[in-house]
Amino acid sequence: MNIVEDVLAGSKRALARAITAVENEYDEAAEIMQKLYPHTGKAHVIGITGPPGAGKSTLTDKLAKEYRLQGKTVGIIAVDPTSPFSGGAILGDRIRMNELTLDEGVFIRSMGTRGSLGGLSRKTAEAAKIMDAAGKDVIFIETVGVGQSEVDVIKATDTTIVVLVPGLGDDIQAIKAGILEIADIFAINKADRDGVERLNNEIEMMLELNQNMVDWRPPVQRTVASKGEGIAELIGAVKDHITHLQQSGQLAVRRTERTKNELLALLDEQIGRHVLRQITTGGNFDKLVTSVEKREQDPYTVVAELLRQMLR
Amino acid sequence: MEKRIRVLVAKPGLDGHDRGAKVVARALRDAGFEVIYTGLRQTPEQIVEAALQEDVNVVALSLLSGAHNHLFPRIVAMCKEKGMSDVLIVGGGVIPDADIAGLKAAGVSAVFTPGTPTGSIVEFIKTNVK
């Protein structure tokens, strides 16, 4: 079977297999991505991020259903944390999305972070590209529950929704750097709880202080995902954002930036791997470690010398 | 990166108890597997479709309602229909000894009854996964 042709023809099995190949870095992964790449760039990719328990999975489930009613096909990538000790993971986001499982127009894939710390796994963006090539119109990337600084999601998405809930932290949280800066849209989920007005005010005040919002001020949308409240309005906000991205030229800017970052990241990975393999094979490296440990040499001089030899 | 064993832990049918399934899921996680847990009351169709999308190596079924003779073989057959003959299917729960031979004949690779140490489930999967 030709996995690339089957992905393009809409085979779900092939799509699943292609993601596995890329995630596990099988030998065929590079060829799969090379051949699928020309077919990417059509989907709108939406990031859903926020703290653990904010309702990201339930919200994603409801948003996906709404897009299905509009006739769009949907891909969902749900990322959950990998144990730093065993390398294992419990990927439980599908529990909130069971009704979507048998929908022919929806494909859901769970991924473990496998050591990445930015809220996604290293291969999440590639998985989204494979779904894009397979013809999904809208792709959701749901991050792990994030704290303050896990902002990798913006590197992979066109629109980022930051999901918050009332009752977490005081107003100083709202002026910290990090995930609150990356929102294109804020969703205050569980908005039937106490503290929603206060959180709403804090976000609005934070937005007032932002100097760099030229022509898009992130809207704040209240939702109760478990009851389906506010979902249509949230999708309205996404639509407005897409229109803004297109009309302002920001979509092109963001995608150029993303392409550049992807190229740099790929280069970084390949060069790093190549250089490290050269340096660490042959046994000389172990001697250097010993000599640095004994304080015969310092690590800075050793690294400078190794690099000088490599780049000669 | 080495291959990671992916396991779908699923509860087919109508019983509402998943403590056992969660204990098994946790043990598999601690063994370094990626465990996709889909929750209670799944139909065979949902389980097989989730296994396909997640490209799992193993489907681990937990069932306490007594419907195993009907549901387990159905899930095995549906996996084969979808081209997933290489997926290892194991079952556990309240399953009478008398039913085990029949389930194995139907394509369930192993049946783990109450009292099985989780370590032996891990070992079985590591040894038999394709």
Cα–Cα distance for residue pair A132/A75, rounded to 1 Å: 8
What does pTM read for this prediction?
Answer: 0.90
Query: Do the Cβ atoms of A83 and B29 come within 8 Å?
Result: yes
Q: What is the CATH number of the domain that holds A223?
A: 3.40.50.300
Query: Do the Cβ atoms of B46 and A107 come within 8 Å?
Result: no
Same domain? A182 vs A78: yes
Cα–Cα distance for residue pair B71/B15, rounded to 1 Å: 13
Residue A73: inside a domain: yes
CB contact, 8 Å: B130 with chain A? no
Same domain? A212 vs A295: no
- Per the structure, the count of domains in chain A is 2
**At residue A224, what are phi and psi to the nearest 5 degrees?**
-125, 90
The reported pLDDT for the residue numbered A247 is 94
Same domain? A213 vs A181: yes
Question: Measuring CA to CA, which residue among B14, A49, B26 is closest to residue B37?
Answer: B26
pLDDT tens-digit map of A207-227: 888 776 668 999 999 999 999
Starting from the edge strand earliest in sequence, which strands make up the sheet with B58-63, in order? A89-91, B34-37, B6-10, B58-63, B88-93, B110-112
What percent of chain A clears pLDDT 90, i.e. is strictly above it? 66
Across A140-150, average pLDDT: 84
Tell me the residue range of the domain where A177 lies: 39-248
Question: Measuring CA to CA, which residue among B87, B74, B64, B22 is closest to residue B43?
Answer: B74
Helix (H) or strand (E) holding A251: helix A250-280
Domain endpoint, select from A248, A279, A296: A248
Same domain? A117 vs A188: yes
Parallel, antiparallel or unpaired: strands B34-37 and B110-112: unpaired
Same domain? A154 vs A276: no
Same domain? A122 vs A218: yes
Residue A299 has pLDDT above 90, yes or no: yes
Same domain? A275 vs A202: no
Cα–Cα distance for residue pair A63/A78, rounded to 1 Å: 14
Cα–Cα distance for residue pair B72/A23, rounded to 1 Å: 30
Domain limits, chain B:
6-128
The reported pLDDT for the residue numbered B3 is 74
Q: Look over chain A and give the mean of its residue pLDDT values, rounded to a whole number.
A: 90
Question: Measuring CA to CA, which residue among A159, A156, A143 is closest to residue A56?
Answer: A143
Same domain? A223 vs A270: no
CB contact, 8 Å: B28 with chain A? yes
CATH number, domain B6-128 = 3.40.50.280
The reported pLDDT for the residue numbered A276 is 84
Size of the A and B interface in Cβ pairs below 8 Å: 84
Same domain? A66 vs A211: yes
Angstrom distances, CA of residue A126 to CA of A20, A141, A154, A306: 11, 11, 14, 33
Same domain? A212 vs A286: no
Same domain? A207 vs A58: yes
Residue A86 has its nearest CB partner, among B31, B53, B82, at B31
CB contact, 8 Å: B118 with chain A? no
Across A278-291, average pLDDT: 86
Residue B52 has its nearest CB partner, among A13, A89, A94, at A13
Residue of B nearest to A76 (CA): B53
Residue A162 has pLDDT above 70, yes or no: yes
Cα–Cα distance for residue pair A287/A291, rounded to 1 Å: 6
Look up residue A255 and give its two tokens: 């995608």
Spell out which chain A residues touch chain B, with contact meaning CB-CB distance below 8 angstroms. 12-13, 15-17, 19-20, 24-25, 82-83, 86-92, 94-95, 98, 101-102, 107-110, 112, 114
Residue A299: inside a domain: yes
Query: Do the Cβ atoms of B39 and A95 come within 8 Å?
Result: yes
Amino acid symbol at A15: L
